[in-house]
Amino acid sequence: MIMDGLVNWRYLETLTNWGSKKDDTSALTFHNGADGWQRRIDFESKFSDGQMAACARITDDDTVLDACCGTGRLTIPLARRAKYVYGLDASDKMLAWCKHNAEAAGLNNVETILVNNWHSCTPGKEIPIVDIAVACISPAQGDLVKFSQCARKYCYSLSFSHVPYRHCMYELFYDAGLWGVSGSRKPVQGKESMQDELNRQRLLGLNVAFNLLWDLGAYPEVSYVDGGWEHEADTKEELYSYLADFGEVFPDKQEQFRANCDKRIKQTPEGRWHYAYPTQMYVLGWDPNHMKI
């Protein structure tokens, strides 16, 4: 039986970013942006390594679920550590990239699973039961009770404790163009809209997930991973070109785009050029066997 607390965290979970998006709309948005998510893998590879290091309980004896895995940003490093990994997603385009990345890495312990919608699936049926379940920027984070039912040993939920990816894109393309892949490009929001988003993130973010798990009898653990989006090149021109490919720079706004880039570009002691936009991710972990549900 679910424990009653002073605050109804289960209700507040339905108001969070993922808890309020349980139809097919968000899945379609991710599907249309699959190529952009693929490009991000290189852009945040060091950050991803840090996130995987924080998921310290995963061993080479474990089966792992990467819930709503996308193009495999975490699926591939998970597969290098675990016995077997299931990458589940509602987009066949995302999964095609995930398969491609697993094959390119020479991995044969990755299985992709296509579902219609995470929220309409059942653990033990469409969703496999595994040793350890992982969810990062995922619809699975909108229902932690259901997500917990996917794991025998441990669960990890990862998301931003600081600015999300789109804030990096807002800065790069501010007054210079549109960000995103062709067919799903977006205008840049103003600073007030960005701050409103951060306020909502703190109001209905990690605090809801942590307290929900605590009220259900789990003993959640939290760690934080610093990192972000970065790239290095021999010349500034190469770096500008790399960053421009994350969106569309208007022809008459090239100088503005370069000025936006220059806010985060530094030259290394070796003479190369390095772009970095810092952020932070939280890694929330818990043993589902402790939960009273």
Establish if 224 belongs to a structural domain. Answer: yes
DSSP string, 128-174: --EEEEEEESSGGGG-HHHHHTTEEEEEEEEEESS--HHHHHHHHHT
Establish if 192 belongs to a structural domain. Answer: no
Query: In 3D, which of 14, 30, 37 has the Cα closest to residue 141?
Result: 14
Please count the structural domains in the chain.
1
- 134: domain range? 9-162+198-231+278-290
Which residues fall within 8 angstroms of residue 22, CB to CB, at 6 or more apart?
Answer: 117, 119, 139, 142
Q: Which of 21-25, 104-108, 116-120 has the lowest mean pLDDT?
A: 21-25
Instruction: For residue range 111-157, list pLDDT tens digits in order.
Output: 999 999 899 999 999 999 999 999 999 999 999 999 999 999 999 99
First to last CA, the chain: 5
Establish if 131 belongs to a structural domain. Answer: yes
pLDDT band for position 205 (cuts 50, 70, 90): very high
Establish if 184 belongs to a structural domain. Answer: no
Provide Rg for the chain, Cα atoms: 19
Establish if 282 belongs to a structural domain. Answer: yes
User: What sign does the dihedral 173-175-180-182 (CA atoms) show?
Assistant: negative
DSSP helix/strand/coil, 5:
coil
pLDDT for the residue 190 = 73
Over residues 274-283, the mean pLDDT reads 97
**CATH code of the domain covering residue 81:** 3.40.50.150
CA 171 – CA 18 distance, rounded (Å): 25
